[in-house]
Structure 1
Amino acid sequence: MTLQQQSLQLWLKQEVESRREALIRQLGTVVRTRFQDGSLIDEWMEPFRRLCVKIQAMQSAGNKRPIAFVHVSWLRSWLRQGKMLCSLEAYDDTWYLDRTSCMEIFEVPWLSDHVTTYYQAIESTRKLVDKNIPHTESFRILMEDAAVAGQYVVHIVRAMASRMAACAEFQQVRRADDFRIRAGEYMDLSEDVWVELNEPVDAAAVHQWLESKDGSLYRYQDWRGVHLGGGDYESSDLAYTHLTSSHLSNCCFRKSICVGVDFSNSRMQQIDLAQSVIYDANFSGCDLQGANFQEAAGGEPIILEGQVLGVFGVNFAGANLQNANLLFTDLTHACFENANMNGAKVIASQSASWSLSEEQKQQIMWMEEDEQGNFVQVRHLEYGRE
């Protein structure tokens, strides 16, 4: 290995890697903050409404067939100008073969600023480590790590998808029976973030499929309102599936991948999600009495298999977590607003990292491990109830 190659490896390891991790944390904080204060919602809904108005006009004139895809993209090529631009496009069921263009393009300035700052930081450290490292290396890293910013675009669209589907302008759009909102890079890889299938779900078939444990991935499914209670679905991969208003009581989803699953308003009493991956899962309004979340993971943002997980945190807003097992559950950034925590078991040392009201802290049974590894309740007012 030449000296220049050694310098390059040193720079990548000591400087670039830490700044990439910092970028992930910073973007996560900004996205959560902007989503909570509503500015992110306004920023993305306005161009979507404009797109819907365009679609309506084209359909009224007979120039656009029913919409099967809305594709939200981030445009990597604009990074050369220091901008992060996104596009919204509407296609019929022929997708890219639909040549009747219907597009809205808009800039995301705060995302552009973070990406530009990241590039400037790695470029300055390149010169400090070894000015002989080619300048093109900094730009190569920028173009590769733009995918990190692109991941946040996908997460934003996923978080916005239900609002998009419910807005008045969209409801006036004629769409195909199989309709999808997809997000990803422009004219490149993308993924479903919202699926509408105008056909009834065969609950018995879904139950049989899940229990077969044949290695299938059950991602991006539209299983809203399905009755799957009592099933053994251990080690399933349900990432980003819609299970809103479903019956899932007494199910076993132990060791399952439930990243981004929308369980909102579902019946989930006594469900077993122990050791599952639940980053960004939505349990808002769910009945989770007696649910088992022990050692489930859903905390700080991480990159797993090229994907950023944990952008928004797990959502338990308005959920009933009475007598739930939350021992050693990683729920940093989780939302517990108006959640019933009465009798929920939580490790006492986690009290500082969870966002809980004083009432919830009093409801919780704070626990710790004794010398024999048994869980015992902490008898201290600082953590909860006597």
Structure 2
Amino acid sequence: MNRQEALEHFHKTYAEDVLNEKLHQAASLYEHRKEELIFSFIQSFQSICLQANFTEVAKTRIGYITYSMRRTYLVDRNYNYVVEAYDKNWFFDPQPCYGIYDAGWAFSFLAELEDELNQLRKPYMNKIFQPDVERFVLQAAGEFHQYILKLAKDAIQQVVHLPEFKALKCEDDLEVRIGEYKGISEVVYSRAYGVLHDSTG
């Protein structure tokens, strides 16, 4: 078995099954702790709104609030999402408000995935290396991100009624986005259009 064959065998025999198991565990945890997780998400949103209202930046209207997964953090097993409030210039805002949201409840399963796959690669006798596992795990990160996106969608109905959010000076087209840091993100709320999903989805 050459290296390429070993990688294909490893993925089909172990990696995909262990990934599916961890995703199932994350889904189960979400359903069992949903209200607690929504409450924690709301607290992080309140915090960024308060910061935007009571700093020197408060004179600026907020155009975007973003929750961003950072793959560079994941490599170090730091599962904090970067929470930022920008003016209408988005990434070009020189002074965004900054906070964090701890997504460890979902991404701890990513760490378990990596640990288990590192054990399972050992019988392949120097054909599969730790960077191969890291690559697979980082690619899988987007699957776990979907639970943070689902959480945001489930929480947003309550978020938009927070007094801290209502007090925010915002642009008429303010958006709340969830996604990858300075990459692709999904709008879960638009001031112009309202909540952009079916809360049962």
Identify which of structures 1 and 2 has the higher relative contact order when contacts are C-alpha pairs closer than 8 Å and 6+ apart.
2
Percent identical: 21
Answer yes or no: is 1:190 the counterpart of 2:189.
no
- 1:141-290 matched pairs, under 5 angstroms: 141-197=136-192, 222=193, 242=196, 261-262=197-198, 282=200
- Show the counterpart of 2:12: 13
CA distance in 1, matches of 2:150, 2:122: 34
Deviation per CA, 1:179-203: give whole Å up to 9, x if none. 2110001111111111121xxxxxx
- Show the counterpart of 1:214: none
Indicate which of 101, 104, 111 corresponds to 2:99.
104
How many residue pairs match? The answer is 201
CA distance in 2, matches of 1:187, 1:140: 20
- Does the CA contact (< 8 Å) of 1:154 and 1:183 recur in 2? yes
TM-score, reference length from structure 2: 0.91
- Show the counterpart of 2:60: 65
Residue 166 of structure 1: SS of its match in structure 2? coil
Unaligned runs of 5+ in 1: 198-221, 225-240, 243-260, 263-280, 283-313, 315-386
TM-score, reference length from structure 1: 0.49
CA distance in 1, matches of 2:165, 2:30: 24
The structure number with the bigger radius of gyration is: 1
- Does the CA contact (< 8 Å) of 1:63 and 1:100 recur in 2? no
Q: Alpha-carbon deviation of 1:108?
A: 2.6
- Show the counterpart of 1:40: 37
RMSD: 1.9
- 1:52-131 matched pairs, under 5 angstroms: 52-58=49-55, 61=56, 63-131=58-126
Q: Which runs of 4+ in 1 moved over 6 A?
A: none
- Does the CA contact (< 8 Å) of 2:80 and 2:101 recur in 1? yes
Normalized per residue, the structure richer in strand is 2
CA distance in 1, matches of 2:78, 2:177: 22
CA distance in 1, matches of 2:171, 2:40: 27
Q: Alpha-carbon deviation of 1:89?
A: 0.6
Deviation per CA, 1:58-96: give whole Å up to 9, x if none. 3xx465421111111122211222221112111111111
